[in-house]
Structure 1
Amino acid sequence: MQGATDLVINQVRFDSRKVQQGDVFVAVKGLQSDGHQFISKAIESGAVAIVLEEQNALKTLPEGEGFGGAVIIKVQNSAAALGMMASNFYDNPSEKLKLVGITGTNGKTTTVTLLYRLFRELGYKVGLISTIENRIDEEVIPTNYTTPDALELNKLLALMAERKCTHVFMEVSSHALAQHRVAGIKYSGAMFSNITHDHLDFHKTFAEYLKAKKMFFDNLEENAFALVNKDDKNGLVMLQNCKGKHHTFALNSMADFKAKIIANTFEGLELEIDNQRVWFKLSGSFNAYNLLGIYAAAVLLGEEKSKVLEILSNIEPAAGRFDKVIGKNKVFAIIDYAHTPDALKNVLENIQKTRTGKEKVITVVGCGGNRDATKRPIMAKIACELSDKVILTSDNPRFEEPEAILEDMKKGVPQDAEDKTLVMTDRKEALAEAVKMAQPNDIILVAGKGHENYQEIKGIKYPFDDKKIMSELLES
């Protein structure tokens, strides 16, 4: 540390464009840019302290400028330091809440959303931090990321504490963990749903992806609970060296919390949990895991078992998660966020298990641009293997050309499935074509975008809502 040790700080910043007089600037290495390159700009804007991890960055300051009176603090990891500073700056809000984080490839949004609804029904003031939206009790706060940056996260938690929320349920993404966005946050509990092929564009290897998820459990304190899906082969890996109290849930192996599927239909699930048979409005074995994990988390938070099951049995699915639309001609459409190979396989296998055998399954699916390209042919292959007809189409192409993404997907189409596979770049035309193909009682799966009400093309988000469009098509 160089400079004065007693400073009054106005605000913590990691974006040099937002720095004002009296702020501290944390130079964080990002995916697109490196904050160390903007130290000079931050000092010019009035930063009174600079936190950095690369001492050499100071050599780029103009000769004779010195440090402009700013205190220089060198740390091992700027991103982790930002998290801890943000937490302290907002008076450690996570310590004032029962904060439970959920991580895993699939099931995070459903789990946190249903936990939020459950605990509101139990009479608590509750916060929600999710892919779809953030909520402070009834107030909706729009979100752009699964897990906010460290400053936004702590600011949001501080507001939740100020508004007297007692419980908060949040998705914790692997990106956020790798980027230390949750550093300094104290969790009352952590849940692991599963881990499958995803986000290798960011993590590069599955080992790094797994390592990011495990960081969440490695940093738990002794009084927190660690709840993992034991049926996932990496569930117990999360508990290795974890100081929190270990708990497991499972359908197919011995666990602390166990459930059995009695019935699985398009209308819902019947499960046996703790010797009680309960009907739920969610469908699919993947939702059996979600419901069991939710039940286990609620019990670990001290709630009465029978009351939890009673409320859960009446809760509706999260938006865009096995979301059902039935047309006048009895065509059954399912809108689902499935955007990974495992999620798509789970949804289609559930459809196959619950169909009577006479209906056709028509799948409309695409893959996002500027994301893990290796999963594209895999998803096309899964769609072909588990559907009677397949339409490959555009998802959120972002800054890639849709045709290039579809070429990647076509590589996964088996030779014997080429005749039943169409490629249509325009997503709305693809949905219309699926409806034209369908006969009464057929099932159309629209996968990939789920709750999203936009399509992102070349940096612009155009209005596009799969459920709304399918409802209109099926009505007409």
Structure 2
Amino acid sequence: MIEPVPLTTLVARADARLIADPVTADSVVVTGATLRAQQVLPGDLFAALPGARAHGADFAADAVAAGAVAVLTDEDGAERPAVRDSGLPVIVHSDPRGVLGAVAAWVYGEPSLTLSVLGITGTSGKTTTSYLVESGLRVAGHHTGLIGTVETRIGTERLASAFTTPEAPDLQALFAAMVERGVTHVAMEVSSHALALGRVNGTRFTVGAFTNLSQDHLDFHRDMEDYFAAKSLLFDGRSTHEVVVLDSAWGQALVTPQTVTVSTETDSDAAWRADDIALTPTGEQSFTLHAPDGRAAKATLPLPGEFNVANAVLAAAVLDTVGVGLDDIVAGLASVEVPGRMERVYLGQPFTAVVDYAHKPAAVTQALAALRARTEGRIITVLGCGGDRDTAKRPMMGEAAVRGSDLVIVTDDNPRSEDPAVIREAMLAGARAVGPSEGCEVREIGDRREAISAAVAHAEAGDVVLVAGKGHETGQEVAGVVHPFSDRDELEAAIRERLGEPQ
């Protein structure tokens, strides 16, 4: 149960200005918070934030009608008619978005102080590392929560994920629900957007972990330095323990004397390392996991690619930091399942079929390198790029696909509001620039379903078909409409057709 919080307490803790009749203000208590007027419940604080296209204050009337008891906004919002005429107490703060996380945490009883919140940031590997951490926690007997791109989970109950990291009030409410349900540890992805926009403000992380950094989200961040600065916010004192992969200059820049370090490089002096990496006859990876104080264990991982070994070693270090034993860590790594991350689709066909979420140049390169190490046949890649996102990476995506494949089929991803043909052309420019020298054939099939079918039809025994970019997603957004679409389902259907099985 959420204990009502006096409005005046929130104002004082936020060091904000209150516009309200003193008698009225003294009697108001808050039982929830949201920044979406359509989601207001009776007793909520409505956060009316300035946005790129509109100001949340303009929707205050809807919040009032739904039962909001107060408004948090900036000076501009406080002067807007919908707020000024609402009759509600108004908390005015110069940075309402920045303070919202802390305010929401106070409203919901500061649940992250009760939970062990294990946050993972970085460009690639956040999802996989979160699942690896959560798997180890469960093996060790902890009651777990999971927050990320694929899903949000309280114990075994699955919830849909709208963002990699929820908005601040939603996140604090989710933490509070987890506390009520007996969760003790939460593995969560922490995106650069969430850090830059203050979604995790008010959250105390038991562990903050860093995977890697490569080009992505440059439609939001000014440049790579700005992108890294956002990631670095997880290590600005809000994490009790910090765990960092050293295998890049970006990771090395985060290291302090207290940092727990991780590496897969053989000459590294990191606290946590892996060596003797090899493929097992069943297609898993095996490696020796080296822990501090001379501890070591043989580990297996049901995920291909040395980059996933790095994710596994990072997860091991995080788990050790919160007291999980080495035997349970190894068991957790061996039993992990990660939807849409190098996920194999096997129906008895004579070639390998894989779905992966790789939607960044470095991730495409890593995925293809991992698959190349496991096959002597050809690699056939189906790949697109999303619309309304970082346009600079599109030719780089095409180039990365060609350098690791024998046939690349450029197709649509989520074009969103853009012309799909324009997106494909940018990818094709990068692909065709290096295709002849790499000996890779490049085709264009705009319809993603047809592209997947063509790849499957072209595959021969021993080949690999990689459908990349959308991973776990179950929709395709075209011109503002999300159509049902699952790469896994479409790949399975194409294989069934190839095998002559009924659909």
TM-score normalized with structure 1 length: 0.91
1:449 pairs with 2:484: no
The equivalent position to 1:107 in structure 2, one of 115, 125, 142, is 125
Report sequence identity in percent.
35
Change (3 A) 1:183 1:254: same
Q: How does 1:123-142 map to 2 (within 5 A)?
A: 123-142=141-160
- CA shift at 1:75, angstroms? 1.8
Counterpart residue number, 2:3: none
The equivalent position to 2:365 in structure 1, one of 317, 341, 345, is 345
Counterpart residue number, 1:263: 278
1:121 pairs with 2:144: no
Counterpart residue number, 2:328: 307
Q: Deviation per CA, 1:58-83: give whole Å up to 9, x if none.
A: 44438xx9665543333231112211
The equivalent position to 1:85 in structure 2, one of 103, 111, 122, is 103
- Cα distance in 1 between the residues matched to 2:144 and 2:43: 34
Supply the RMSD in Å over aligned alpha carbons. 2.3
On the 8 A contact 1:201/1:371 being kept in 2, the answer is yes
- Cα distance in 1 between the residues matched to 2:149 and 2:431: 31
Change (3 A) 1:352 1:164: same
- CA shift at 1:8, angstroms? 1.9
Give the SS at the match of 1:259: strand
The equivalent position to 1:376 in structure 2, one of 394, 398, 422, is 394
On the 8 A contact 2:128/2:338 being kept in 1, the answer is yes
Change (3 A) 1:264 1:232: farther
Give the SS at the match of 2:112: helix
Counterpart residue number, 2:264: 251
The residue identity in structure 2 corresponding to 1:343 is A
On the 8 A contact 2:32/2:104 being kept in 1, the answer is no
On the 8 A contact 2:410/2:445 being kept in 1, the answer is yes
The residue identity in structure 1 corresponding to 2:417 is F
Q: Deviation per CA, 1:336-376: give whole Å up to 9, x if none.
A: 100001100101112223333xx111111111111111111
- Cα distance in 2 between the residues matched to 1:97 and 1:207: 32
- Cα distance in 2 between the residues matched to 1:232 and 1:317: 27
Q: How does 1:275-286 map to 2 (within 5 A)?
A: 275-286=296-307
Change (3 A) 1:278 1:14: closer
- Cα distance in 2 between the residues matched to 1:114 and 1:372: 29
- CA shift at 1:220, angstroms? 1.8
- Cα distance in 1 between the residues matched to 2:433 and 2:298: 45
- Cα distance in 1 between the residues matched to 2:52 and 2:354: 35
Counterpart residue number, 2:54: 33
- Cα distance in 2 between the residues matched to 1:411 and 1:10: 54
Counterpart residue number, 2:429: 411
- Cα distance in 1 between the residues matched to 2:402 and 2:455: 15
- CA shift at 1:31, angstroms? 4.2
Counterpart residue number, 1:458: 479
On the 8 A contact 2:351/2:464 being kept in 1, the answer is yes
Counterpart residue number, 1:336: 356
The equivalent position to 1:98 in structure 2, one of 116, 128, 133, is 116
The residue identity in structure 2 corresponding to 1:334 is V
- Say which is worse superposed, 258-267 or 465-474, in terms of deviation: 258-267
- CA shift at 1:32, angstroms? 4.0
- Cα distance in 2 between the residues matched to 1:102 and 1:47: 34
Q: Deviation per CA, 1:2-59: give whole Å up to 9, x if none.
A: 3335232354232234457754332212344322444576568765533223x24444
On the 8 A contact 1:395/1:455 being kept in 2, the answer is yes
Counterpart residue number, 1:189: 207
The residue identity in structure 1 corresponding to 2:397 is M
- Cα distance in 1 between the residues matched to 2:363 and 2:145: 26
The equivalent position to 1:298 in structure 2, one of 319, 327, 337, is 319
Counterpart residue number, 1:427: 448
Give the SS at the match of 1:116: helix
- Cα distance in 2 between the residues matched to 1:228 and 1:158: 28
The equivalent position to 2:461 in structure 1, one of 432, 437, 440, is 440
- Cα distance in 2 between the residues matched to 1:134 and 1:45: 26
Counterpart residue number, 1:61: 81
Give the SS at the match of 1:333: strand
- CA shift at 1:257, angstroms? 0.7
Q: Deviation per CA, 1:393-427: give whole Å up to 9, x if none.
A: 01111222211110111121234526710000001
The residue identity in structure 2 corresponding to 1:391 is I
The residue identity in structure 2 corresponding to 1:447 is A
On the 8 A contact 1:336/1:445 being kept in 2, the answer is yes
Unmatched segments (≥5 aa) in structure 2: 1-16, 291-295
Counterpart residue number, 2:375: 355
- Cα distance in 2 between the residues matched to 1:91 and 1:427: 47
1:273 pairs with 2:289: yes
Give the SS at the match of 1:202: coil
Change (3 A) 1:464 1:43: closer
- Cα distance in 2 between the residues matched to 1:366 and 1:440: 25
- Cα distance in 1 between the residues matched to 2:357 and 2:301: 20
1:232 pairs with 2:228: no
Give the SS at the match of 1:412: helix
- CA shift at 1:445, angstroms? 1.1
- CA shift at 1:287, angstroms? 0.5
On the 8 A contact 2:48/2:77 being kept in 1, the answer is no
On the 8 A contact 1:43/1:67 being kept in 2, the answer is no
- Cα distance in 2 between the residues matched to 1:453 and 1:408: 25
Counterpart residue number, 1:365: 383
